[in-house]
Amino acid sequence: MEFSTQTSIDLAQINTEALAVGVFKNQVLSPAAEQIDQASQGAIRSVLESEFKGDAKTSLVLRQLPGVAAKRVVIIGLGEQKKYNAKAHAAAEATFATYAKSASIKEVTSTLASIDTPDSTITERSRASAQALGYANYKYDATLSTKDDAPSQIEQAAIWSAPTEAAAIETGLAQGKAIADGVNFTRLLADLPPNICTPTFLAQEAKKMGEQFPSLKVEVLERKQIEALKMGSFLSVAKGSDEPPVFIVIKHTPTTSSDEAPLVLVGKGLTFDSGGISLKPAASMDEMKYDMGGAASVFGTMRAVAELNLDREIIGIIASCENMPSGRANKPGDVVTSMAGKTIEVLNTDAEGRLVLCDALTYAERFNPAAVINIATLTGACIVALGDINSGLFSNNDALAEQIKEASQQTNDGVWQLPITDEYQAKLKSNFADIANIGSPGAGSITAACFLARFTEQYPWAHLDVAGTAWASGSNKGATGRPVPLLVQYLINQTA
């Protein structure tokens, strides 16, 4: 999709297939809507009295208005003016994008970013516009027998603004496009079935990404190399499957040299999680293809980082395998040795994500990172605690946690911080190893984070548990692409 700015003062003369203008409840028109209303001799106000109330997430299409060059004027409901904020603006942009996509419109112009909110800048609102339009273009058809020969796509989008704001809008559009591209790549990888999206497939996709973007260097470690690193915890999960494990390292190196330590992202890459010997229930087990949602988000984030060519060394690490039951698989009661030398009692083979991540987090030490963030669909307990609204946030560093919260607020990609105190650490005691892989009953998402914290003492670290937010279930089943927006915003903030 191509994005541009539109700085014409006279909105009525803009020739576009669809022009979005905003209207609040109680018949309060945005400045852009006021312009169009005056040019069309009151066409907008006339429908407000009878057909349109201005409720949030609603729209009304007016065609061929007199005195207006746009083929369609799409009135977007903004809700109550006093409650209008960045989140409401993002919802308004999504309403417009959804309409444009459903109507097979290829070229659009939006004025919504020009409406001020108390908690966002014009750059941030432009970014939200680009994200919404980009997200609307995603459609999964990779494994459908019949595909559209010419799928409907929004191809061109312009953001209307004052000339003085054009530069700030262009920055937001570039960021939004990169985020949307990254989110949609994440969604595609996660939505692919597990017989296609295997660890080997992810390794191939990483190499393709390295070929596409000059700033990215990709290294793929296979079983013998992983064994040489003594990643016994990771390998213990992989040994139950016929699919070989891979350990992927994606390095973004900026064009300008810097003495700043790198930022590292670590993704859990279980391309299918049966639970192993501690077998999951059959119902909804198909959704365990999404257990690589953390890895997929690292792919999407690194793609966005490369597209933006951020001025900071950023490293993505993905530890990928399957967790399957077999005669070789981990058994409850087994003791394995991690790369860090810590022994782990495997009390539940379905608590495998932490066994994979702990070795990846130890590997991250070699980069002397400024900060490490791991992303994982780690615990069902996090869904119980936070549902599908917020991702769980855990951290050993208050400053890092606050930076992530700030990025969360800027992107409406919600997180909620939970504790990892010594009282919870005590729940991981084992009589037969240095640590157990599950805690005593209760606080499952917290004890999982406490487990990971044992392997992150050498650097500032945060853990995002995205078990409730990485995909949606039910009739709208599919990957969400979260928390790519949050991660990219965090990285942008660190390079500003």
- Tell me the catalytic residues: 280, 354
In whole angstroms, how far apart are CA 418 and each of 77, 421, 424, 442? 36, 10, 11, 14
Euclidean distance between CA atoms 360 and 316, whole angstroms: 11
* Alpha helical stretches, state H, 137-265: 166-191, 199-212, 223-228, 232-238
Angle at 420 between CA 418 and CA 425, to 5 degrees: 145
In whole angstroms, how far apart are CA 318 and each of 245, 260, 289, 460? 11, 23, 16, 19
User: Could you tell me if 262 and 367 are in contact, meaning their C-beta atoms sit under 8 angstroms apart?
Assistant: yes
Buried b (16+ CB within 10 A) or exposed e, 79-96: beeeebebbbbbbbbbbb
* 300 CB-near residues (< 8 Å, 6+ apart): 182, 183, 184, 185, 186, 189, 481, 484
Q: Is the dihedral of CA 420, 422, 424, 425 positive or negative?
A: positive
Euclidean distance between CA atoms 330 and 347, whole angstroms: 10
User: Could you tell me if 303 and 267 are in contact, meaning their C-beta atoms sit under 8 angstroms apart?
Assistant: no
User: Could you tell me if 289 and 193 are in contact, meaning their C-beta atoms sit under 8 angstroms apart?
Assistant: yes
Within 10 Å of residue 258's Cβ, how many Cβ atoms?
12
Angle at 59 between CA 55 and CA 63, to 5 degrees: 140
* 325 CB-near residues (< 8 Å, 6+ apart): 240, 274, 275, 276, 277, 279
In whole angstroms, how far apart are CA 142 and each of 45, 138, 288? 45, 12, 19
